[in-house]
Every structure is written in structure tokens, then in C-alpha cells.
Amino acid sequence: MTDTASPKPTSGRRWLFAALPLVLFAALAGAFFYQLRYGTDPKLIPSALIGDPVPQTVLEPLKSDKPGFGPDDFGPGSANGQPILVNVFASWCVPCRVEHPIISALARERGIPVYGLNSKDKREDAIRWLNELGDPYTRIGYDPLGRAGIDWGVYGYPETFLVSPKGEVVYKYVGPITPQVLEREFLPRLDAFAEGAQ
């Protein structure tokens, strides 16, 4: 009886097994960085709500002096036939603080009804934030767990929705509204409503 020893892996095979995890890691890291640099901008992803009625979620008021909102607060007979902005904000959101003066000026100067959707926030923090920065909102719904945010398709803060006088979501913007964004994205749409084009 002869003992046959199993052949030892060649040094080439050992190198392949050792290098395989490194090669896989490098490929995955490369794909990840490519997606970060050249991938789709989330601001360009359209909302699934565009063209649909507002979600059926009813939100309790954040503060005792302003009502919350629900689907009955949109559409014919609400807001004197004007479009409505729904602004998703939180006191911990730094970009929300940046855009807040623009939202306030838009509500004050153009008379546009703005509904605030305070999400994933502590009530007392949100009230303190509004007392400090001013409260431009016609109505403020409180969504402490973010469930209404899910219904609205929120995936970042801030987000702002434009709702037609018919109660349909016609536009969504992800990120803070800057003066440039206001001029480029919102004012033309608001002017079109004022002219009766939509």
C-alpha cells in the first residue's frame, strides 16, 4: 500500500486566495466612490406623490395657538384658492434654520399659505425654535415619530412641497430653499398659479 500525499497548493493558488478579498474590497470601494461622485442626485429623483392628492394623514397641532392639518385643509375651499407650501422642518436641522428667513419672507410678502410639518422633533424644542426665529406657518402639524413624513415621502430635511389649489402635490424640493432656488424653482410655479395657468 502506498501513501499518496495530496498535492500542496502551488504558491500561485495561495496568492490568489490571499488577494481575492483585497480585490473584492477594492472593486466595491471603487463602485461606491463612483456612485458618490457621478451617481444620481437625490434632489433630481421625482416624488411619487407628484400629481396625486395630499396624503390622508391628519396631524395634531404643534402649538395650541395654531391648528394642525390633514387632507381636508387642502383643495377647493381651502386657502382662498391659493396654492399651499408644505415645509418639513425640525429644530435640530441646520439647513432648516438657513432657509427659515426665506420661508418667512415668502409667506409675509407673497401671502402664500405655508403649512409647517415638524417631524422627528421634541415639541418644546420646536416651539422654542419658532419663538426664536419667527413663525411663518398658517398651520403646523406635529409628527414626533416621522410617520407622516413617510406618507409624504420625506427622506431629508428640509423638504418643501407645492400643493395646487385642487389639493394635488405638484412639486417637491429637497434641501434648503435659497434665494436662487426660490427664484428658479418656486416663484415661476407660484406665478403660474396666480395667472391661472395650472
pLDDT bucket at 41, cuts 50 / 70 / 90: very low
Higher-confidence position of 24 and 76: 76
Amino acid at 182: L
* pTM assigned to the model: 0.77
pLDDT in tens, 131-184: 999 999 999 999 999 999 999 999 899 999 999 999 999 999 999 999 999 999
Q: Which residues neighbour 114 within 8 Å (Cβ) at sequence distance 6 or greater?
A: 84, 85, 86, 87, 103, 106, 107, 136, 137, 138
Give the Å distances, CA to CA, from 97 to 57, 67, 129: 26, 22, 9
* Spatial CA neighbour of 58 closest among 69, 45, 42: 69
Q: What is the pLDDT of residue 40?
A: 45
Q: Which residues neighbour 143 within 8 Å (Cβ) at sequence distance 6 or greater?
A: 59, 117, 118, 119, 120, 149
Percent of the chain with pLDDT over 90: 67
Q: Where are the domains of the chain?
A: 9-39, 44-194
pLDDT bucket at 22, cuts 50 / 70 / 90: confident
When computed from its CA atoms, the radius of gyration of the chain, rounded to whole angstroms, is 25
DSSP-assigned states of every residue in 91-103: TT-HHHHHHHHHH
* Spatial CA neighbour of 90 closest among 136, 131, 144, 134: 144
Name the burial class of residue 129, with classes exposed (0-12), middle (13-18) and buried (19+) by CB atoms within 10 angstroms of its CB: buried
Domain 44-194 matching CATH 3.40.50.1110: the answer reads no
Dihedral (CA of 190, 191, 192, 193) sign? positive
Higher-confidence position of 131 and 49: 131
* Spatial CA neighbour of 177 closest among 111, 120, 114, 83: 114
Q: Can the peptide bond before residue 158 be classed as cis, meaning omega within 30 degrees of 0? A: yes
pLDDT in tens, 105-130: 999 999 999 999 999 999 999 999 99
- The overall average pLDDT reported for the chain is 86
**What is the mean pLDDT of the segment spanning 96-103?**
97
